[in-house]
Amino acid sequence: MGGDPKVSAKNEGVIGLLDKLEMAIYLLVALFLGIMALMTFFIVAMDLTEFIMGPADLSIIDIALNSLLVTLIIAALIQTVIVYIKVHTLDLRLILGVGLTAMIRRVLVFGVEKTITWEQMAVTALLIFVIILGVYLIDEKKPPES
């Protein structure tokens, strides 16, 4: 019933190769996310330099804050990838945190956009509510620490 040892050794070799390929993909994703985070820091610095050197305009601060929130989203995605690489499970709180940051960014973008429908605002509010509810429910299920 144990099976052919050659076949199981082959399967272990294939599984090991797929594990290494998966790890390489996640490391590549983390590398690209790191490069994107550095690029967004550069964009934030350019926006703030424009605010300091140019005429006083609060819309530049809004744009810089929007770029900074994109950086935070990318940093949280990097953290999610690192946690997955370490423990091979996804932390739902991290993922929901990324979603909440993205929704807050969306609310800030509403301030810059000229035409926003009530449907867009309602969907965004509903998504924020669902994400906050998800975070609350995850924390409720967590066993108390002794």
Average pLDDT over residues 4-28: 80
Q: Which residue has the higher pLDDT, 77 or 114?
A: 77
Res 128: pLDDT: 93
Residue 3 pLDDT > 60, yes or no?
Answer: no
Which residues, other chains included, contact 32 with Cβ-Cβ below 8 Å and sequence gap of 6+? none
* Range(s) of the domain holding residue 14: 9-116
Query: What's at 58, amino acid-wise?
Result: L
Is position 131 within any domain?
Answer: no
Is position 90 within any domain?
Answer: yes
The total number of structural domains that make up the chain: 1
Is position 138 within any domain?
Answer: no
Half-sphere exposure of 58 (CA within 13 A, CB side): 3
Exposure string (b/e) for 85-113, b if CB count within 10 Å is 16 or more? Answer: eeeeeeeeebebbbbbbbbbbbeeeeeee
Residue 26 pLDDT > 80, yes or no?
Answer: yes
Tokens encoding 92 = 């739902």
Measure Cα distances from 132 to 36, 63, 97, 105, 137 in Å: 27, 25, 9, 15, 9
pLDDT tens digits, one per residue of 32-70: 999 999 999 899 888 888 888 888 777 777 788 888 888
DSSP 111: T
